[in-house]
Amino acid sequence: MNIPFVDIHTHNYEPRQDIVTIRSVRLGKESVPTSGEPFSAGIHPWDCEVVGSEWLDSLETLPVAAIGEIGLDFCKPIDRTEQLRLLTAQADLAEKRRLPIVLHCVKAYEKLLSLMGRYTVPIIFHGFTGSPQLAGQLIRKGYFLSFGIALFRSPKTQEALRTTPDNHLFLETDEADTTIEEIYREAATLRNTPIEILKQSIYTNYKTLFG
């Protein structure tokens, strides 16, 4: 069996046989796919002040593979109370539906970690750019880390990647023009591991979380 690449979080979906892709949909900003590909959906913290109640209601029945990206962004001048309300509502729904959660977190790790401890579904921190120390804290709680294009420029993120165990690791393209193959090659070089071994580990993680 040829092990596919896994792009766990992208907004640039192009169907290919050799890539397993989880397309990320910002409810109210991006269209829900109708062609049958796996996707995640959620109310992004940037959109929480313009949210319509129908967006939240739609998460009750949409055939999503995961809820997200959702989370907290304390760098943006967006009402934090509303961010917290919608994060909690969506995470509660993920727990109810037994779906993984894909998290966006900027300058809000302390608050986010205090909230997420009550959930038992898998949690993925997408676009992780933090330090090895923060990575270790998240991994000890059982969370998954997904790395993207910061691997090409951030020494602390590179070191965090090196210290992330195989069974907590994902890779992603998010909104970048960089291909998932390029991100895998960079990650394999940084981890000093053959790319086929990296593909096997991440595909195993994908099957564990998404079946």
DSSP percent split of the chain into helix, strand, coil, nearest 5? 40, 20, 40
Query: What does pTM read for this prediction?
Result: 0.96
Which segments of the chain does DSSP mark as H helices, in order?
Answer: 53-58, 80-97, 109-116, 132-140, 155-163, 180-191, 195-210
Structure tokens at 93: 């729904």
Residue 15's pLDDT is 84
Residue 204 has pLDDT above 80, yes or no: yes
Residue 9 has pLDDT above 80, yes or no: yes
* Confidence bin at 101 (pLDDT 50/70/90): very high
CA distance 171 to 144: 10
When pLDDT is averaged across residues 145-149 and rounded to a whole number, the result is: 98
Q: What is the mean pLDDT of the chain?
A: 96
Model confidence over 44-86: pLDDT tens digits? 999 998 888 899 999 999 999 999 999 999 999 999 999 999 9
Residue 1's pLDDT is 66
- State whether residue 6 is helix, strand or coil: strand
Report the candidate in 186, 195, 182 with the shortest Cα–Cα distance to residue 158. Answer: 186
As its CATH architecture, domain 5-210 has Alpha-Beta Barrel (3.20)
When pLDDT is averaged across residues 76-100 and rounded to a whole number, the result is: 96
